Amino acid sequence: MTTFDGTTTNERKSNKSKRKMLRYASTNGTYFSVNINGAERSVLINSTNTMNKKSICSMPNEQFFLGDLIIWKGTYWLITEIEVSDFTYFRGFMERCTDKLRWINENGEEIERWCVADNMASNSEGITLNKIINLPRMVLDVKVSLDDETKKIRRGKRFLMDIDDEDPNAYITTNRNIVTDVYEEDLMHGICKLVLSQEQRNEDDDNKDKMIADYNNFVPKESETEGNQCSIEYSDRAEIRAGGTFKVFTAKFDNPADTPVWTVITLDGHERYYTIVEDGNFIKIKAQNDASVVGTQIKLELTNSSGTSSCEMFVKVVSLLNG
């Protein structure tokens, strides 16, 4: 018995299917060249009953992942469902992207990602609404590729999303899910699902030209109190959100050889509500989601190891959904 096509019946069937697909795929009307995450690929794309949703199938021995971004005929699509068929090829569904999420990350860099946004019922916001009167507002179900930047989005993060850049709608993140659509073991592929609830735009902080919410607050700025030959720098407001992510502060010395010495002063008995991590010139502070710390302040002091340079600042603790 020949083993040219495989050593088992399943292998022979799989290899025969691969050869047939490779031989006839290019003559199929559903055969297209696309760009997947920057790489040119050939795939099969078929229509579904939904105009903005297509089925997609890879060529044999090629692979795509959940959350991959597809550029097809000048339009952008996101792979939102995936299935492996005997590892011969991959197939799934892709949805057409409708907008971009734009924001400033913790390093002050402008980030943008294509996303799929759909209107949804307000009872999925992830927050408790008034049971007597619900104010009408738009609630969006947003899907975006999971990566090192999108996985850091938390509740309370604000965005501008609109085709009208003169008076765009503002949204705040009220729910986040990076669990149910992350299948790969390395956790580097998948879908980040967000629920965005419409809120009032902040004329002073939001930049409608760049379509980035809180843009003016994310310009790195020095501490309100500069000391002798040192300062504390941070992005966004001088605030920490209770239940949010780490807030990063950076020590700046006129003498680069200086070693920072940090001191964090809280209200008596409140030390247990904070997680503090020092890493070289950086200090990261996170507050627990506890009502007793909301509205309080912590004092952050910076000196060098010789004590010849010092400065300080106050940081306010606000609620997670504080606008």
Dump pLDDT digits (tens) for 177-207.
988 877 655 557 899 999 999 998 888 889 9
Strand partners, 252: 231
CA angle 122, 210, 101 (to 5 degrees): 40
Dump pLDDT digits (tens) for 103-138.
988 777 899 999 999 987 544 444 444 444 444 578
User: What values do phi and psi take at 15, rounded to 5?
Assistant: -65, -35
The amino acid at residue 164 is D
Dump pLDDT digits (tens) for 279-299.
889 999 999 998 888 888 899
Determine the Cα–Cα distance for residues 141 and 123; give it in Å rounded to an integer: 12
Strand partners, 298: 315
pTM, two decimals, is 0.60
Q: What burial letters (b/e) apply to 290-299, b meaning 16+ CB within 10 Å?
A: eeebbebbbe
Secondary structure tally for the chain: helices H, strands E = 1, 21
Q: Are 287 and 264 in contact (CB under 8 A)?
A: no
- Describe the strand order of the beta sheet including 260-265 as a list of residue ranges: 239-241, 310-318, 297-304, 260-265
Which pLDDT does position 227 carry in this prediction?
46
Q: Which two tokens stand for residue 210?
A: 């760049």
**Secondary structure (3-state) at 277:** strand
Which pLDDT does position 133 carry in this prediction?
43
Question: Beta strand pairing status for 297-304 and 260-265?
Answer: antiparallel
Which pLDDT does position 144 carry in this prediction?
96
Q: What is the DSSP string of 43-61?
A: EEEEE-SSTTEEEEEEPTT
Nearest Cα neighbor of 249 from 201, 199, 298 is 298
Which pLDDT does position 93 carry in this prediction?
95
Q: Are 80 and 144 in contact (CB under 8 A)?
A: no
**Burial grade of 269 (CB within 10 A; 0-12, 13-18, 19 or more):** exposed
HSE-CB for 189 with a 13 A CA cutoff:
17
